Structure 1
Amino acid sequence: MRGWDFERSPSISLKGQWEFYPNAFLSQKDLKQVPERERQYVQVPGDWSSAFPNAADSYGYGTYRLRILVDQQLEQPYTFWIQEIEAASRIEINGEHIGGLGVPATTAETTKPWKASYTATYTAGDAKVIELLIQSANFQRPHNGGIIKDIYFGSQAAVDTERWYSIGLQMATFLILLLHGLYAGILFVFKPRQKEFLFFLLLLFCVAIKTVIDYDNLMLLWFPIPYAWALKIELLSYIWQPLLMILLVRRLSNAGGETTSRLFRVYLFLLSLYWHRPSGCTFLPSCFPCII
């Protein structure tokens, strides 16, 4: 990043190949003692399962490392916008602990997961190298582990502007969806036989919940929802949306033929498999990726 004008430029995504040390929580002082053969490279953002070749899932823990070379001495701090790390993380920059979410640990019993986006700010002073270490642990999601969404880096003003702009759009979308849902609910109260108003209300509610429980995870900032329930709500909002859309279209088009009804019952049966608990799954009543 030498030659980059942080004062006048937007934040940049740190996507690409990062150093990764599986099965180790490292700080800056530990790096010199780590053998070269233990270092691997993984794609960020992305699932880290390639770093655990003998594992059948994405469970595990490890440390990401990235060195950023800078030459501009800012009057404001540098800021990292961490959108999502599964499922707990701790951030260290140049040997200084500056943030994190949840409690990463070496076992599922001691790891405390948390799902939300957050920022980490660092005042570099006259430092020309920013060495970023992210310790992460995942024992909750079998198909996604590590840094699974972009990390953005820039001046504090640039990152805060972009993040709050994103949050503002999500809030506006959430409120607009709830407002239209309120209209549909009022119409259903006056005409309870017209079920399409009820289906439309539930559809808008699901989309609204999906908006604030994903992206920047605003719902988890408003309510102390446990990680497991947050994931359940997110998956339920996903599978209810197509179901409600089909119900709404069937109601509006009066599509109720024998073939259509049979296909619809098959679809309902497939959705009901969500509540079937696959063998070996100890996290959810069922994990949606496990049935597809």
Structure 2
Amino acid sequence: MNTLSGLIKRHKLKISLTAVLIVFLVFILAAYPIKSKTRLTVVNGNIDLSSFDFKNNVKLNGQWKLYPYKLLSYEEIINIDDYEGINIKVPSLWTGVEYGSSIMEGRAFGTYVLKVQLPEGNKDLSLEIRDICSAYKLYIDDDLMIENGKVTTSKEEFIASYKPNLINFYTNETEINIIIQVANFSQLDGGIWDSIYIGTSYNIINKALKDHILDYFIIGGLVLMGIYHLVYFIFKNQWKEYLFFSLFAITIALRNIVTRSRSIYLIFPNIKWIFVTKLEYLTIYLAFLFCNMYVYHIYKEVYNRRIYKVIKILFILAILLHLFLPTSITQKYLNVFLIMSALLCLYILNVLFKTYKNQKEGAFTFIVGMFIIFLCFINDALVTIEVLETSFLVPIGVFIFIVIQSIATGRLFTNAFKNLEIYANENRKMYVEIKNLNETLELKVKERTNELKNKNMELKELACIDSLTGILNHRNIVNYLQTSIDNIDEYKFLSVSMMDIDYFKRINDSYGHQMGDRVLEKIVELIKNTLNKKGIVGRYGGEEFLIVMPRLGIYEAFKLIEKIRVNVENLKIEGIKDKVTISAGICECTVNSNVSDIIDRCDELLYKAKDLGRNRTEF
């Protein structure tokens, strides 16, 4: 018996996580089916519900018809021969979708069309619409049912709105056309972001009501836990953990108000879209900031103070940038934030496992709570790719985590309070001494770290930069080319040019090497200004330069290099009477390209340009 007890104690964490996983899987498999092969799906802009009994709601997911850059009416739709339509998955973004020989941009407009076959007889139906970015008009055949925001073909008169809607309609037709005119000039990506549901009015309203009840339950629970911990902090303000946990819970509650069923529109019906969007992002930043501060103050003995400060500064900076910069700019750096958040989660897990090994109270429940959130993330990912037909569970997982952590925090600090009263006087003196020693040590380490950092930066700069021209040297421009080829799938296009100054030896012989160096410096300055972030130039050797141009195809690269060549030809250099010209060769990289072949090919084209009379570009 003692052996079994000891075994359970040693493997308590593994047993608990396995039990949570089993309960989660049993719940998923018992409550919801795996995606059925016969599930109703939109195919080629059509869905057949003629045999459907409408006892449940139907997701209108699948291949809708989209007519990019056209706002079509019902009359135009029925004469569809005049227009080009494409199949697009709903829900999804339309950014980057190909139509004809073009690619659709994120900020654009278009018309979604779905033909729905219905059973015979009179039908009282409803649609539930959540996220369509960023404004739309919805028609049932030629009847306008709702306009959310203002749909236009230009940014000037466009008005965004993210208000969710329930649309009720009555029909005795056996076929209807759902036509949604969508415009987006506010977000980076447009389109129908979330599933659209169709069902009887009773079922749709019942579903929406259940969603709202669940949301309000979660929001109310989070707010109550936040207020409870805030009040506790006010009476015991030396425990900052309670403050940060309170702010974390209230931030998650605010995020649910803004994002889940967008209950914020019930409180503020006329709120501007820009405030909703900023709140949506700010609540993420604030949640991670407060979580970081909360974990640090609980596990100070394990949590590295420097890492804590760096993370705090980065998130505060992200919050300030999002407050004062346009959303269109801050959205571009969302991936940077996601990487920061992932690294923070990994570091917090590392801290928790260390504290658990040290038998620190509270670490076990924290790990179990985070494991529950992880399982909910997996569920949501499977729902997104339509493997499961469950609901999105991350908000519920976060709520369960906060409840568990709230109980653990209360228990943790109840025990801590008892011990604190006993050892307060003795520990106070010891704490002052240790704090002074830590601060002294930190100052010394900081000074040494700064010295090493400065030396390393100097060495790195000397190793990477050509000393005369200030651009990348031979080794590093070749390394940059290799990196660019490795990332060619991301860039889509990659062009490379080898460039050489014509008769440079004659310049050195006629005007001296100092004047030759000056010519090199002037031409490099001109190349950098002309490239203007469209490419990177490096000194390949002597008077030869290698230019790497990610995202530029051969024709765009040719225009850019020709512009450089003409600018050099027109360049006036004090002390040089002769005209200075350049010759260049350009080639385009593919996925299978290698550095040496590309450089050799550019070199061949460069010498071809020289053989044909110099002062020209060959590709």
Per the normalisation by structure 2, the TM-score is: 0.44
Deviations 1:226-268 (A, max 9, x none): 11111111101112212211211111122466xx222223323
Uncovered stretches (5+) of structure 1, i.e. residues with no partner: none
Deviations 1:253-291 (A, max 9, x none): 22466xx222223323432245447xxx85456225264
Partner of 2:121: 73
Partner of 2:86: 40
Secondary structure of the equivalent of 2:245? helix
Q: Quick one: structure 1 residues 108 and 214, their matched pair in 2 at CA, closer, same or farther if it must change by over 3 Å?
A: same
CA contact (8 A) 1:200 1:244 kept: yes
| Of 224, 230, 233, the match for 1:179 | 224
Q: How does 1:154-169 map to 2 (within 5 A)?
A: 154-169=199-214
| Of 159, 167, 187, the match for 1:120 | 167
Question: Equivalents in 2 of 1:29, 1:124: separation in Å?
Answer: 19
Deviations 1:34-85 (A, max 9, x none): 44662111110000124366558411011000000012424x5211100110
Partner of 2:109: 61
Secondary structure of the equivalent of 1:77? strand
Q: Which moved more, 1:198-207 or 1:235-244?
A: 235-244
Partner of 1:137: 183
Deviation at 1:192, TM superposition (A): 1.2
Question: Equivalents in 1 of 2:261, 2:296: separation in Å?
Answer: 34
Deviations 1:76-111 (A, max 9, x none): 521110011011111000211111311111111211
Partner of 1:193: 238
CA contact (8 A) 2:248 2:287 kept: yes
Question: Equivalents in 2 of 1:241, 1:31: separation in Å?
Answer: 46
Partner of 1:244: 290
Question: Equivalents in 2 of 1:255, 1:38: separation in Å?
Answer: 64
Deviation at 1:140, TM superposition (A): 0.7
Partner of 2:307: 263
Q: Which moved more, 1:242-251 or 1:54-63?
A: 54-63
CA contact (8 A) 2:111 2:181 kept: yes
| Of 35, 59, 63, the match for 1:13 | 59
Question: Equivalents in 1 of 2:121, 2:175: separation in Å?
Answer: 11
Deviation at 1:17, TM superposition (A): 0.5
CA contact (8 A) 2:286 2:319 kept: no
CA contact (8 A) 2:94 2:105 kept: no
Partner of 2:154: 107
Code of the aligned partner of 2:197: Y
Code of the aligned partner of 1:233: L
Deviations 1:175-221 (A, max 9, x none): 11111111111111101111111101110111001111012110122
Question: Equivalents in 2 of 1:265, 1:72: separation in Å?
Answer: 66
| Of 261, 264, 282, the match for 1:219 | 264
Q: Which moved more, 1:76-85 or 1:35-44?
A: 35-44
Secondary structure of the equivalent of 2:171? coil
Secondary structure of the equivalent of 1:179? helix
Residue 92 in 1 paired to residue 136 in 2? no
Question: Equivalents in 1 of 2:73, 2:82: separation in Å?
Answer: 16
Deviation at 1:32, TM superposition (A): 4.0
Q: Quick one: structure 1 residues 56 and 99, their matched pair in 2 at CA, closer, same or farther if it must change by over 3 Å?
A: closer
Secondary structure of the equivalent of 2:177? strand
Question: Equivalents in 2 of 1:52, 1:161: separation in Å?
Answer: 39
Taking every aligned residue pair, what percent have the same amino acid on both sides?
22
The structure with the largest alpha-carbon Rg is 2
Question: Equivalents in 2 of 1:220, 1:71: separation in Å?
Answer: 35
Q: Quick one: structure 1 residues 284 and 60, their matched pair in 2 at CA, closer, same or farther if it must change by over 3 Å?
A: closer
CA contact (8 A) 1:42 1:50 kept: no
Uncovered stretches (5+) of structure 2, i.e. residues with no partner: 1-48, 338-619
Deviation at 1:27, TM superposition (A): 1.3
Q: Quick one: structure 1 residues 56 and 248, their matched pair in 2 at CA, closer, same or farther if it must change by over 3 Å?
A: farther
CA contact (8 A) 1:116 1:216 kept: no
CA contact (8 A) 2:187 2:328 kept: no
Residue 4 in 1 paired to residue 48 in 2? no
Partner of 2:276: 230
CA contact (8 A) 2:96 2:105 kept: no
CA contact (8 A) 1:40 1:51 kept: no
| Of 4, 25, 38, the match for 2:71 | 25
Question: By percentage of residues, which structure has more strand?
Answer: 1
Q: Quick one: structure 1 residues 38 and 93, their matched pair in 2 at CA, closer, same or farther if it must change by over 3 Å?
A: same
Question: Equivalents in 2 of 1:188, 1:226: separation in Å?
Answer: 35
Secondary structure of the equivalent of 2:167? strand
| Of 178, 182, 191, the match for 1:146 | 191
Q: Quick one: structure 1 residues 237 and 269, their matched pair in 2 at CA, closer, same or farther if it must change by over 3 Å?
A: same
CA contact (8 A) 1:18 1:64 kept: yes
RMSD between aligned residues: 2.1
Question: Equivalents in 2 of 1:238, 1:168: separation in Å?
Answer: 23
Question: Equivalents in 2 of 1:21, 1:145: separation in Å?
Answer: 14
Code of the aligned partner of 2:203: A
Which structure is higher in RCO with an 8 Å CA cutoff and minimum separation 6?
1
Question: Equivalents in 2 of 1:282, 1:219: separation in Å?
Answer: 22
CA contact (8 A) 1:61 1:137 kept: yes
Per the normalisation by structure 1, the TM-score is: 0.89
